[in-house]
Amino acid sequence: MVLGLTLLNPVTITYFTTLILGLKATSSGGTVTSLVFVAGAFLASFSWQSFLSGMSGLAHKRFSARLQTATFAAGNVMIIALGVAILFGLM
């Protein structure tokens, strides 16, 4: 599931593709270096996704329904604001 979430994010794909191509151009480590990099990228993604799902589970248990609704709305407003800022070249 974590691999699927990571692969669905186009920014992640672009970022890691660029890094891997950059490693190939500047590194003489070969296959082992590339495999270690991919394993590290997977573990980083896995740990981040695990952290987020764990915090979400804790918040769901401890937050009231009203607070959950407020945090949901605030998160969506932030995503929309960032999208608008990117759309208009402010970021």
Number of domains composing the chain: 1
Residue 39 lies in a domain: yes
Residue 88 lies in a domain: no
pLDDT of residue 56: 87
Residue 73 lies in a domain: no
Give yes or no for residue 63 having a pLDDT over 80. yes
pLDDT of residue 45: 78
- Choose between 89 and 3: higher pLDDT: 89
Region 66-75: what's the mean pLDDT? 93
Give how far Cα 67 sits from Cα of 42, 46, 75, 79, 80, Å.
33, 28, 12, 18, 20
Full-model pTM: 0.55
Structural domain including 15 reads: 2-62
